[in-house]
Amino acid sequence: MSTTEWEVVVGLEVHVQLLTEAKLFSTQPNEFGKDPNTAVDDLVAGFPGALPVLNEEAIRLSLVAGLALGADPQPRSVFERKHYFYPDLPKGYQISQYARPLFLGGRLRYRTGDGETRTCRLTRVHLEEDAGKTSHRAGESLVDLNRAGVPLLEIVTEPDLRSAADAADFLRELRRVVRFARISDGNMEEGSLRCDANVSVRRGSDAPFGTRAEIKNLNSFRFVERAILHEAERQVRLLRRNGEVVQETRLYDEGRDRTVAMRGKEYAEDYRYMPDPDLPAVVLDPAFIEEVRASVPRSPLDVWAEYTHQGVPDEAARILTDTWEVADFFDAVLALGADPRLVAPLVVNDVLPKLDHAWEIGERLRPDDVAALISSLGSGVSRSVVESALTRLLSGETDARRLVAEVADGQLGSDELDTVVTAVLTEHPEQVARYREGHAKLIGFFVGRVLQASPAEVDPRVAKETLEKRLNEEAPRRDS
Amino acid sequence: MTDAGRAPVAELVEMVVRGRLSARDVVESCLARISENDGEIRAFVTVEAEKALARADEVDRRIREDEGSLPLAGVPVAVKDNILTRGLRTTAGSRILENLVPPHSATVVERLEAAGAVVVGKTNLDEFAMGSTTDTSIFGPTRNPVDTDRTAGGSSGGSAAAVGAGLVPAALGSDTGGSIRQPAAFTGTVGLKPTYGRVSRYGLVAFGSSLDQIGPFGRCVDDVARVFAVIAGHDPRDSTSSREPVPELGPPSEPVNALEGLRVGWPTEYFAKGLDPGVAEVLSAVREHMTSVGAEIVELSLPHTEYAIAAYYVIAPAEASSNLSRYDGIRYGRRATHADTLDSLYLRTRSEGFGDEVKRRILLGTFVLSSGYFDAYYLQAQRVRRRIRDDFERAFEAVDVLLTPTTPTPAFRLDEKPSDPLSLYLADVYTVAPSLAGVPALSLPAGEAPGGLPVGAQLIAPWFREDRLLAVGAGLEAIGVGG
């Protein structure tokens, strides 16, 4: 069903796990992938008598993020208790912020798929603790409290987004920002970045906002897009039949690719927010804010613009700015005088596909090695030599110049190759004749023979080029 | 053997440090007294003699090996059962925690033990410290050593009775709206509620977190001062604990000097209707006594006093309903059996685990925090709280301390306990306002009402001026007030 005459209105609530060493109010480690319930102390387990002590590092990271998002740090913010019962919520309340968040306002510029730059306003940014995880299997439910108490930054947008794709583009840019700010790895698969979407539809952009439904816990860019798309279609279908959209919480069912309403009871919750009497208000010293402001990193969108300005294609620039590690690496290679238009394809096409995670680039490669590879390319070394040298660099060897020389040495020199080629052609006069009659496919046969006959490694592409040159240029020997 | 239960703490420590008495001797005689006398009083809910004796031996070893100063060497201490003690069951008087053995101790217990004190047992209390008679405890009520037909008060009734009966020289209680001061008054002991933030709450089973304070009981002001000096001071594990330095609390050479020229506020609202004439008479006698040694009595008004009870019974239950959310039977404590859904697990665990008074306060607290009522109740109560705080701030511009009764009546008979909760709540009238303001307050024996029942006087000082309270209290003892 088409939704073209309808406008989709989306606001997001994005949860970003902060990369602190310890949890928000406990000294237990903030670490993904530990054995269940091994990052638990009396506070995390909600033991009687345990008290929260704020991790200052979380405030600093929040401040970096908030300032990077142009939000207004509030001189005084308050932690509150948000109450509900669930086995992975050990205290029976989540420590969050409500009436007085850490930040108000803010905005994020992002590029859409069509290459347009848009701005989405932020309502607020606040800090809270994560809950644990419950997993259900036949007859039992298991609780893991390792995630309980991990600091989460919640970023709430205004209803400024106008389509599912728009929301996903915004979210991708937001992920770049939190990565560039180095406050989160933004990893959706591990739950470091999660998203709730408020979706409504209206007839045209002048109509008042429709009633919204909230879709909870979207944990991939694809699901964000699919869920919003389906929810908008559902609402349009409903309204076309003169039905009414109910304000409710829904879940995206990935298997059936649609949204479903949560049980009535679960969303009729009254959280009974109350200022947490165990925690003093967070008072931000203006001098501290200014100190942190000085350390706020550049915006990934500005970096993107800079790269494209230097001649890097749009899409390559986008990939280079997906993580700060890659952008920093790219910059470091450029700082050595390399041409961005040559470095970008090498990094995007040759380096990144060989890494498990893009952020490893700085750990696996040195910028001067990449600069050396680029300069080898410029001085006529073949791509295949450079690629082999790169593979060896990524497997832990060092010194690109030496590796290029070694690879090149290991390969047959062009004179030697000529000798081999001559021998192969001489041995197979019939095939040569047939090739020259138009059986171009025979080139594969010759390449195979050359590779077999060669005493050293030969780049098949080079062998093919040499063979073709000889076969096409030389006068048929039969005549002589 | 010296009766360690009757000796002042200073003398006891002196004897133990000098080796005239071992900590083991002191603790043994204390344990003997408990097993002999506590059957009737029922101050203790848990006593583990072997553990206490092992601790005492450790203190004796530290003395032999001269491991630094031990200001409470060998002093047996009773600890209210809502304060965590490592390896020693801590129930908060509730079925829901009846088998909880904590893996670590509260900061106050660590500090007491570091100072050489020996925890001999855990004392009775109202369930989660909610009550004023210890009647809501799963262990049943503690009896007043002065008259065993009467209540020892609450919620720290077990600690007060243990000290009053001479079972231990000192004890810890907790005070949210009067839970140290009221039982001190009822049992003729001295009880101090410190300034909010003065003593760490780490390891205290939370009731009303913005009000809860741990404080000491003793038979004289000096005993209380010595325990207070050990437990007070900043604790990085409690974000609400103050960094305000704790002043030296050495005993004044001439305690009575503290009274000369002292400006003593007499808030008229605390002497209005509802005050038992016997209690009023004792307080008037104290007033005359103080005047006679050169103190100046200043009658003044704390105009928002009448709203204190209402504000307290909004704020404390609100915080309690939140603090008690964690008792769900999932991770520790009692869990209901035969629950087939998550909701029924919660429902049964909490229905079976909590008593009526606790449920009443959870309901009250949940109601006042509910959306639509939060502003009218909780925020309004916080506004009242600020006014009450301002009342005290203004009063302390004119006077050094305030003098009031601790309770409107002496200890009542257990069988005459008011059946409606409201009149029990109203009896907290003199203790809740200082709790809401966060100021320190001391209850000390001021005399006897007809029938020989102890009457407590409450001294209230400005924030962090426990030193002044203790000096004035010692002065009153020196001129013979209360005994």
On whether residue B99 sits in a domain, the answer given is yes
Counted domains in chain B? 1
CB contact under 8 A, A85 and B346: yes
What's the whole-number average pLDDT of chain B? 95
Cα–Cα–Cα angle for B418, B422, B426, nearest 5°?
A: 90
Q: Work out the minimum CA distance from A262 to partner chain B, whole angstroms.
A: 16
Whether A46 and B210 lie within 8 Å, measured CB to CB: no
**pLDDT-based confidence at residue B247 (cuts at 50, 70, 90):** confident
Tens digits of per-residue pLDDT, B414-470? 998 877 787 788 889 999 999 999 999 999 999 999 999 999 999 999 999 999 999
Q: What's the pLDDT at A480?
A: 41
- Tokens standing for A310? 């230097």
Of all residues in chain B, the one with the smallest CA distance to A90 is B326
Q: Which has the closest alpha carbon to B444: B215, B223, B181, B133?
A: B181
Interface touch B325/A143, C-beta < 8 Å: no
Element (DSSP H or E) covering residue B309: helix B308-323
Q: How far apart are CA A353 and CA A341, in angstroms?
A: 18
CB-CB neighbors (< 8 A) of A273 in chain B: 369, 374
Residue A89's pLDDT is 97
Q: Which pLDDT score is estimated for A462?
A: 78
**Chain A interface includes B316 (CB < 8 A):** no
pLDDT in tens, A216-271: 989 999 999 999 999 999 999 999 999 999 998 899 988 888 888 886 544 457 99
- With a cut of 90, say whether residue B199 has pLDDT above it: yes
Distances (CA, A) of B282 to B75, B169, B405: 32, 26, 9
The 8-class DSSP code of residue B367 comes to: H
Among positive and negative, which fits the CA dihedral B472, B473, B475, B480? positive
Domain limits at B68?
9-231
- pTM for the model: 0.90
Q: Would residue B158 count as lying in a domain?
A: yes
- The two tokens of residue A137 are 């299997």
Determine the residue of chain A that is closest to B375 in CA distance: A274
**Residue B293 zone, left/alpha/beta (φ > 0; ψ -120 to 50; rest):** alpha
- pLDDT band, very low/low/confident/very high, at B405 (cuts 50, 70, 90): very high
Q: What is the pLDDT of residue B89?
A: 97
Structure letter (DSSP) for residue B167? S
Specify whether the backbone of B171 is left (phi greater than 0), alpha (psi in -120 to 50) or beta. Answer: beta
**Predicted pLDDT of residue A454:** 78
Q: Closest-CA residue in chain B for A142?
A: B330
- Averaged pLDDT for residues A143-164: 97
Q: B347 to chain A: nearest residue by CA?
A: A85
User: Among A27, A51, A55, A140, which would you mutate to test the B interface (most chain B Cβ atoms within 10 Å of its Cβ)?
Assistant: A51
Contact (CB, 8 A) for B192 and B466: yes
The alpha-carbon gap from B328 to the nearest alpha carbon of chain A, in Å, equals 8
To the nearest whole Å, the CA of A96 is away from the closest chain B CA by: 14
Whether the pLDDT of residue A478 is over 60: the answer is: no
**Three-state secondary structure call for residue A193:** strand
Given A87, A91, A143, which is nearest B325 (Cβ)? A91
Active site residue B80: yes
| B186 vs A: CB within 8 A | no
Is B106 an 8 Å CB contact of chain A?
Answer: yes
> Which pLDDT score is estimated for A412?
62
Measured between alpha carbons, how far is B25 from B74 in angstroms, rounded to an integer? 9
Does the CB of B386 have a partner CB in chain A at under 8 Å? Answer: no
B175 pLDDT above the threshold of 60? yes
pLDDT surpasses 90 at A410: no
Model confidence band, residue A413 (pLDDT cutoffs 50, 70, 90): low
- Nearest by CB to A47, from B319, B322, B332: name it: B332
Predicted confidence (pLDDT) at residue B164 exceeds the cutoff of 90: yes
Number of inter-chain CB pairs under 8 A, A vs B: 93
Q: In chain B, what percentage of residues exceed pLDDT 90?
A: 90
Residues A459-472 pLDDT 10s: 788 788 888 888 88
Query: What's the one-letter identity of residue A209?
Result: F
Q: Which of B94, B137, B155, B435 is catalytic?
A: B155
Would B155 be classed as within a structural domain?
yes
B206: nearest CA partner in chain A: A49
* Closest CB to A81 among B97, B322, B332: B322
Which chain A residues are within 8 Å of B100, Cβ to Cβ?
A: 48
Clarify whether B137 is annotated catalytic: no
| B346 contacts chain A (CB < 8 A) | yes
CA end-to-end span of chain A: 75
| pLDDT beyond 50 at A1 | no
Please tell me the predicted confidence (pLDDT) of residue B482. Answer: 82
In a domain, B220, yes or no: yes
Question: Which among B125, B210, B323 is the top mutation candidate for probing chain A, defined by the most A β-carbons within 10 Å of its own β-carbon?
Answer: B323
Residue B377 lies in a domain: no
> Nearest C-alpha of chain B: how many angstroms from A293?
27
How high does pLDDT run on average in chain A? 91
Instruction: Flag whether B156 is in a domain.
Output: yes
**Strand A274-275 to A79-83 pairing:** antiparallel
Please name which of A89, A97, A76 lies closest in space to residue A155, comparing C-alpha atoms: A97
Q: Is residue B164 part of a domain?
A: yes
Q: Do B240 and A83 touch (CB under 8 A)?
A: no
CA distances from A18 to A22, A59, A325 (A): 10, 10, 17
* DSSP letter (8 states) at residue B198: T
Question: Is B155 labeled as catalytic in the residue annotation?
Answer: yes
Q: What is the pLDDT of residues B213-237, one digit of tens each?
A: 999 999 999 999 999 999 999 999 9
In 3D space, the residue among B7, B43, B21, B74 whose CA is nearest the CA of residue B222 turns out to be B7
DSSP A232-295: HHHHHHHHHTT------EEEEETTTTEEEEPPHHHHS-----EE-TTSPPEE--HHHHHHHHTT
Secondary element (H or E) of residue B480: none
For an interface test with B, the pick among A134, A274, A276, A282 (most B C-beta atoms closer than 10 Å) comes out as A274
Least confident among A274-283, A369-378, B8-17, B153-162 = A369-378
Q: Is the model's pLDDT at A378 over the cut of 50?
A: yes
Secondary structure element (H or E) that encloses residue A171, with its range: helix A164-180
A3, pLDDT greater than 50: no
> Residue for token digits 């000796």?
B7
Residues of B in contact with A48 (CB under 8 A): 84, 90, 92, 97, 100, 205-206, 326
- Assess contact for B56 and B110: CB atoms under 8 A: no
Neighbours of A431 (CB within 10 A): 17
Instruction: In whole angstroms, give the CA distance from residue B354 to residue A101.
Output: 35
Is residue B17 less than 8 Å (CB to CB) from chain A? no
Q: How many CB atoms are located within 10 Å of the residue A444 CB? A: 11
Residue B217 falls within a domain, yes or no? yes
Residue B1 has pLDDT above 70, yes or no: no
Asked if B318 is an interface residue toward chain A (Cβ–Cβ < 8 A), one would say yes
Which of A83, A90, A274 is nearest residue B378 as measured by Cβ atoms?
A: A274
As a whole number of angstroms, the distance between CA B305 and CA B289 comes to 26
Calculate how close chain B gets to A274, using CA atoms only, in Å. 7
CA distance A274 to B53: 45
Please identify which of the residues B132, B159, B179, B242 carries the catalytic annotation. B179
C-alpha dihedral (A411, A416, A422, A423), degrees to nearest 10: -80
Closest Cβ opposite residue A46 in set B209, B326, B378 = B326
Q: Which residue has the tokens 């979380």?
A: A58
- Mean pLDDT on B349-371: 97
Whole-angstrom distance, CA of residue B76 vs CA of residue B235? 24
Predicted confidence at residue A273, as pLDDT, reads 97
Residue B204, pLDDT > 70, answer: yes
Range 348-367 of B in CB contact (< 8 A) with A: 366
- B104 Cβ under 8 Å from any chain A Cβ: yes
**Would you call B101 an interface residue with chain A, using a CB distance cutoff of 8 Å?**
no
Enumerate the residues of chain B whose CB falls inside 8 A of the CB of residue A92.
Answer: 322, 324-328
**CATH number of residue B200's parent domain:** 3.90.1300.10
The encoded tokens of residue A19 equal 């990369």
Q: Residue A64 — very low, low, confident or very high, per pLDDT cuts 50/70/90?
A: very high
Q: Using one digit for the tens of pLDDT, what is the confidence trace for A85-115?
A: 999 999 999 999 999 999 999 999 999 988 8
Task: Calculate how close chain A gets to B49, using CA atoms only, in Å.
Answer: 25
| Residue A388 clears pLDDT 80, i.e. is over it | yes
User: Cβ of B394 under 8 Å from any chain A Cβ?
Assistant: no
Chain B contact set for A277 (CB, 8 A):
208-210, 240, 319
For A11-25, b/e burial (b = at least 16 CB within 10 A) is bbbbbbbbbbebbbb
Per cent of chain A over pLDDT 90 is 68
* CA A311 from centre of chain: 23
Closest chain A C-alpha to B237 CA, distance in angstroms:
6
**Torsion angle of C-alpha atoms B337, B340, B344, B348, degrees rounded to 10:** -10
